[in-house]
Structure 1
Amino acid sequence: MCKIQALYNACTSVFAFGSEEASLQPSSDEIQWLQHILGSLESCDLGIEDQTDDDVSGTPENNVQEIIKYTHIHECQDFSMGVFCLPAGTTIPLHDHPEMIVLSKVLSGSLSVKSYDWVRQPYCPDSTYKKSGLARLTLEDKVFDSSSPATVLFPMSGGNIHSVTALTTCAFIDVLTPPYSNQQGRPSTYYIEKPIPSLPGYVILEGVSTDIPKDLLITGEIYRGPQLDFYEDDDDDDEDSYVSE
């Protein structure tokens, strides 16, 4: 079995949100199992070209934002899998993952992460409300590369709100559960930081938009890795049918 199929099968087993156990969070053993599988992945396992360079640049050449590529692998109501490829110097700005668990692994190159967790989850009565509140710094420009283990963040811990900056050309895979969904009240919100001089390590985060920033250029790429076989609920009977994506 190829590695990405093993990851898909494990995610399907652990993130069974459509079952009667939907309200249960994955156990620590299940999370560690997924991290172990995710940690074994390499660019070649996903049909992603391993294009890295040693040019560390703070901003793209000529101050022009380069295009970030996103390769969609799979999405269902329970989880999604995809790969981001970032040119050196590009940044995915500060954003959140509402009510989500996110597992990530750098496949090639290196990147820097800055992250926060809410001190208290902001109350948002509707989707138009701009979230803001006190947040605690959890990572400050921590560097990850392909030798780093897979990471995990939770709705209220692990750095749920973060920004990612490519130190070199790099690629990383994300597994999100459940996926982003505007219809179900899980849009990604982008934030600005307001430092608190009297309280080092804490900031006020102010949500500015749930729309992708205009200077964040992301294009979709075709998945060229191994074809996935995935389970799909069959409305005609109680058994799962095994189909090919």
Structure 2
Amino acid sequence: MPIVQKLYDTCKASLSPEGPISEEALEKVRIILAELKPSNVGLEQEAQLMEIFCRSPGSVIPLHNHPGMTVLSKLLITCKVICWVYSGFDDPSQARPAKLMKDCLMSAPCNTTVLHPSKGGNIHCFKALTPSALFDILSPPYSSEDGRHCSYFRKSTRKDLPGVEHDQLSGVKPSEITWSEEI
């Protein structure tokens, strides 16, 4: 069975409209996704600039989130990844504290990453340094009706916000915080 069909069948059995049915089911998807190669989705050397899963050098997928979703990502071709995690603060009209979780160059082949809704870098951006490709599975999928719509962010020019208590930062040191705001 072609790997993409196997991945689809496993996702169908392992993921529900509410998200992954279990950690074991999520692991089954991750294992198959770990085997995925560019050639499995028609991305040969001459097709690396396709916009389906590819980005041309210098292009950026801006800082964005996947609210309430588990995201499995398989990097098929090199890119720079920056992940942030928010600490509390749900008011989108205000700048919010974020802690840098990862700022690195990732090169394929590499492990599949799993982003959980509330930990481990739930907002992120990608910058293609070379022709790049990324394959994502979202569970549950985006749904504005269910409050799962994508938001984009930028670093705030503010360094500190009045009225923010240390205990609101969920154990993150103030020196580790970057303020960001939804745009």
Sequence identity of aligned pairs in percent? Answer: 31
TM-score between the two structures when normalised by the length of structure 2: 0.82
Matched, 1:92 2:61: yes
Other structure's SS at 1:183 match: helix
Q: Tell me which amino acid in the other structure corresponds to 2:37.
A: E
| Counterpart in the other structure of 1:28 | 23
- Where structure 1 has 5 or more consecutive residues not aligned to the other structure, the ranges are 54-66, 71-83, 124-128, 209-245
| Counterpart in the other structure of 1:138 | 101
| Counterpart in the other structure of 1:45 | 40
Q: CA 1:85–1:33 in structure 2 vs 1: closer, same or farther (change >3 Å)?
A: same
Q: Tell me which amino acid in the other structure corresponds to 1:135.
A: A
Residue 199 of structure 1 and its aligned partner are, at CA, apart by: 3.0
2:182 paired residue among 207, 219, 239: 207
Q: Is the 8 A contact 1:116 1:136 kept in 2?
A: yes
| Counterpart in the other structure of 2:82 | 114
Q: How far apart are the structure 2 equivalents of 1:150 and 1:5?
A: 18
| Counterpart in the other structure of 1:221 | none
Q: CA 1:193–1:172 in structure 2 vs 1: closer, same or farther (change >3 Å)?
A: same
Q: Tell me which amino acid in the other structure corresponds to 2:133.
A: A
Going by fraction, where is helix more abundant, 1 or 2? 2
Q: How far apart are the structure 2 equivalents of 1:8 and 1:104?
A: 14
- Where structure 2 has 5 or more consecutive residues not aligned to the other structure, the ranges are 161-172
TM-score between the two structures when normalised by the length of structure 1: 0.62
Other structure's SS at 1:152 match: strand
Q: How far apart are the structure 2 equivalents of 1:68 and 1:52?
A: 6
Q: CA 1:134–1:105 in structure 2 vs 1: closer, same or farther (change >3 Å)?
A: same
* Higher-Rg member (1/2): 1
Matched, 1:169 2:131: yes
Q: Is the 8 A contact 1:52 1:170 kept in 2?
A: no
| Counterpart in the other structure of 1:226 | none
Q: How far apart are the structure 1 equivalents of 2:100 and 2:121?
A: 8
| Counterpart in the other structure of 1:10 | 10
- What CA deviation, in whole Å up to 9, does each residue of 1:115-142 have, x standing for no partner? 111111514xxxxx546422211112x1
Residue 153 of structure 1 and its aligned partner are, at CA, apart by: 0.1
Residue 145 of structure 1 and its aligned partner are, at CA, apart by: 1.9
2:70 paired residue among 77, 89, 101: 101
Q: How far apart are the structure 2 equivalents of 1:51 and 1:159?
A: 33
Q: How far apart are the structure 1 equivalents of 2:110 and 2:136?
A: 14
Q: CA 1:130–1:182 in structure 2 vs 1: closer, same or farther (change >3 Å)?
A: farther
Q: Tell me which amino acid in the other structure corresponds to 1:134.
A: P
- What CA deviation, in whole Å up to 9, does each residue of 1:44-76 have, x standing for no partner? 1112233599xxxxxxxxxxxxx9712xxxxxx
Residue 95 of structure 1 and its aligned partner are, at CA, apart by: 0.6
- What CA deviation, in whole Å up to 9, does each residue of 1:88-119 have, x standing for no partner? 111111111111110011112x1011111111
| Counterpart in the other structure of 2:51 | 69
Q: CA 1:121–1:91 in structure 2 vs 1: closer, same or farther (change >3 Å)?
A: same
Q: Is the 8 A contact 1:88 1:167 kept in 2?
A: yes
Q: CA 1:31–1:132 in structure 2 vs 1: closer, same or farther (change >3 Å)?
A: farther
How many residues end up aligned between the 2 structures? Answer: 170
Q: CA 1:3–1:118 in structure 2 vs 1: closer, same or farther (change >3 Å)?
A: same
